[in-house]
Amino acid sequence: MDLMWWGVVILGLALLAGCVAAAMLLPDAADRRELRLLAHVDRLTRLPEYVRAVRRRRVSLVVVLALVAVGFAAALVATARPSGWPHLGGTSAAAQPEDIMVCVGESPDEPAVARALDHVAERIGTLGTARIGLTAANMRVVPLTRDYQYAAAQFTSYAGSEAAVSPVSYVDYTPTVEDVLAMCLTGFPSFEEPAGQRRSLVYVGPGSFGATGTTPSLLSAERLRELATTAGVQVNVVYTGDPSAGLDALVRDTGGLSAGPTGDVAPRLAEIRDNRPAPTAADDAGTAVGAETPDVALVLAVLALVALALWPVVRRS
């Protein structure tokens, strides 16, 4: 469960602290007035009627403070745009949570890669319940997030730009597509085991990085398939170069789609998006998680305000 606008929470708590400090430090009219001295006050405070009145006042004060605190906290959380909370929209397959990792195997200034990133940035607002991330060959550009405004800005900024991190040359190692895909898989939380949400990976890049077999890679195709299967990730591929039989086999084994090099990647990405992973067993039994889910916070805030408005009536009855 996340909050998209933590600044709202910080500002609200700061204002609350200021109000409490002002109430405690600033004198009021009751402090400035002169009280009349009474005799035998101890006898009055021992009267049953007085004890009951004080008890009722204390209970009323506690109830009012609790309702105000709940209403304020709930309204503050709802304003901060919570995500990942249970909501009232049901548990349809389309509303079930999903993690999507876009994996780039080429420099973002390649035309096909830039078009793919621009297309994803334009469509991020339609993801609904999904978290999305972006991983390049040598860096995690966008960790999985439901902050679609931030993600779209990062995708657009990265598309068409030069690689943010210069490639590193190794003496006894040559990066492979399998290694890049493995890095993208590690972008899923707890990738060593199946998750309670659907997972899909969209790789945009060539089928291979040139000559292979001259130097050892970190992962073999079999090990990569084992990682993807264990994590429950659907692998999809949009080639920007020659296809790879190994990647095509991985795509088939995980239930994904692959598309050959084409000038327009938008239709290919749309087909991949339509071919979503099957709901997991945890999804079938769980509650849908939305991109922005203020339902619970709003309900609590409304209930607290209604109870606060009705409390004087209840106290008099």
Q: What local confidence, expressed as pLDDT, does residue 127 receive?
A: 82
Domains (ranges, CATH) in the chain?
A: 2-85+293-316 (no CATH), 93-285 (3.40.50.410)
Q: Are 154 and 185 in contact (CB under 8 A)?
A: no
Sequence-distant (6+) residues with CB within 8 A of 236 are 200, 201, 202, 203, 251, 256, 257, 258, 272, 275
- Each residue's pLDDT tens digit, 31-42: 666 777 777 788
> Quick check: 252 pLDDT over 70?
yes
Q: So what's the pLDDT on residue 283? A: 47
| 97 pLDDT higher than 70 | yes
pTM to 2 decimals?
Answer: 0.61
Q: Decide if 124 contacts 148 (C-beta within 8 A).
A: yes
- Widest distance between CA atoms in the chain: 102
For residue 86, how far is the Cα from the chain centroid?
Answer: 13
User: 131-186: per-residue pLDDT in tens?
Assistant: 999 998 888 899 999 888 999 999 998 887 765 556 667 777 777 888 899 999 99
The candidate with the shortest Cα–Cα distance to 96, out of 284, 232, 269, is 284
For 210-221, how does the pLDDT look when each residue is reduced to its tens digit (9 = 90+)? 655 555 667 788
pLDDT at position 96, please?
Answer: 66
Within 8 A by CB and 6+ apart from 124, the residues are 132, 148, 151, 152, 155
Q: How far apart are CA 146 and CA 152, in angstroms?
A: 11
Can you give the pLDDT at residue 5?
81
In degrees and rounded to multiples of 5, residue 5 shows phi and psi of -120, 80
